[in-house]
Amino acid sequence: MSRIYPARNTSSDSDSINEIDLDDISPRVLTVWKRSSMSFQGTHGFTVFNGEGKLVFRVDNYSKKSRCLMGGIVLMDGAGKAILTLKPQILSMQYQWKGYKGDATSKRSWRSNTPLFSMRRKSMLQRNNNEAEVFMGGSKNHEGSSLADYRIEGSFRRRSCSIIGPRGEVVAVISRKKVVNTTVLLNDDVFSLVVQPGFDSELIMAFVIIMDRICPKPWLAPIMCS
């Protein structure tokens, strides 16, 4: 996370000045580029930068030809350390995915782990539905209710949606990104993700990756296990 270290002054209490973490007091503005950091042909993934242009998250590679993605998609930090593994649920009618902590790409690792969350498209019947819901820990929320802990509302395809939290608050906003100091919009493969303070940007980015899979563009036919 980005940290600011105030300059020391000459007063006697200068040593008591604590570092300030801006992510705790202001929204975290991220630029998401739907492209793998690996440059060879046929790769798919994400690179995510903070306001200073530092690489903070990445998904190096996954194949859209792999119908069931049995190994899952691994979200990593900028240094390549696995943060979360995202796995589709085979034959799920609502395009359901589960998220596991760390690298859970092997059968042994993910079968022995408890899912951190379960995410699914909101409507089973509406193929073009762009909304989704998230249950922390499973198919019910942390209080045992069937109400979702998080909801994605709006149109992810159009890069115009919000992630709503447990108390109805806006947790994050996804929007088209503009060229600096202009009104020109960039291609929708580059977009802005603004995460409100107090919320886990790693978790929010995992939601974004899954939304990209369960809300494909119209000319990409969805598949049952993605």
Q: Where are the domains of the chain?
A: 26-214
**pTM, entire model:** 0.78
- 27-83 tens-digit pLDDT: 999 999 988 766 545 557 899 999 999 999 999 876 555 445 556 899 999 999 999
Give one DSSP letter per residue of 25-80, joined into a string: TSPEEEEEE-S-S--STT---EEEE-TTS-EEEEE----TT-SS-TT-EEEEETTS
With CA atoms as reference, report the closest residue to 139 among 102, 209, 92.
Answer: 92
* SS3 (DSSP) at 105: coil
Regarding predicted confidence, which is higher, 221 or 47?
Answer: 47
With CA atoms as reference, report the closest residue to 3 among 14, 207, 17.
Answer: 17
- 80-97 tens-digit pLDDT: 999 999 999 876 666 889
d(CA 224, CA 172): 28
The CATH class of the 26-214 domain is mainly beta
* Torsion angle, alpha carbons of 138, 140, 144, 146, to 10: 180
- Residue reference for tokens 């790769």: 43
Which residues in 31-58 are b (16+ Cβ under 10 Å) and which e? bbbbbbbeeeeeebbbbbbbeeeeebbb
d(CA 97, CA 10): 55
Structural contact between residues 215 and 207, judged by C-beta atoms closer than 8 angstroms: no
pLDDT for residue 106: 74
**Beta carbons within 8 Å of 11's beta carbon, 6+ residues apart:** none
- 109-132 tens-digit pLDDT: 656 678 999 999 887 655 556 789
